[in-house]
Amino acid sequence: MEKRNEKVHVLVVPYPAQGHINPMIQFCKRLINHNGIKCTLALTLHLSKTITPTATATPNIIFETISDGCDRAGFSEAGTSEIYLEKLRENGSRTLEELIVKLNSTGNPVDVIIYDGFLPWALDVGKRFGLLGVLFFTQTCSVNAIYYHVHQGNLKLPLTQSTVSLPGLPLLLDSETPSYVHVYGDYPGFSHTVVNQFSNIDKADWVLFNSFYDMEKEVLDWARKLWRRVITIGPTLPSLYLDNRLKDDTDYDINLFNPDSSSCLNWLNTKPPNSVVYVSFGSMADLTPAQIAEIASGLEDTNQFFIWVVRSSESAKLPENFKPEKGLVVAWCPQLQVLANPSTGCFVTHCGFNSVIEAMSLGVGIVAVPQWSDQITNGKFVEEVWGIGIRAKKDVNGIVRREVLRDCIKEVMEGDRGREIGKNLLKWKKLSKEAIDEGGSSDKNIDEFCKSIINHHLSL
160: closest CA among 139, 172, 180, 174? 174
Say which residues have a Cβ less than 8 Å from residue 81's Cβ, sequence separation at least 6: 75, 187, 188, 189, 190
Q: Which of 20, 46, 149, 457 is catalytic?
A: 20
- β-partners of residue 11 are 40, 113
* Amino acid identity, position 218: E
Rounded Cα distance between 307 and 326, Å, is 9
Which three-class secondary structure state does DSSP give residue 373?
coil
Give ∠ CA 452-119-442 in degrees, rounded to 5.
35
| Alpha-carbon separation of residue 253 from 30, 51, 193, 449 (angstroms) | 14, 9, 27, 24
Of 278, 183, 234, residue with least CA distance to 22: 234
Nearest-angstrom CA–CA distance, 326 and 267: 11
Residue from 17, 11, 442, 449 nearest 237 by CA: 442
The count of other CB atoms within 10 Å of the CB of residue 142 is 27
Select from 97, 134, 129 the least CA-distant residue to 117.
Answer: 134
If DSSP codes are grouped into helix, strand and coil, which group holds residue 323?
coil
* Active-site position among 111, 116, 249, 251: 116
Q: What are phi and psi of 404, to 5 degrees?
A: -70, -45
Question: Is 124 in the active site?
Answer: no
- Alpha-carbon distance 438 to 425, whole Å? 22
DSSP string, 235-266: ----GGGTT--STT--S----SS---HHHHHH
Eight-state DSSP code of residue 47: H
Task: Check if 20 is active-site.
Answer: yes
The amino acid at residue 163 is T
Task: Indicate which residues carry an active-site annotation.
Answer: 20, 116
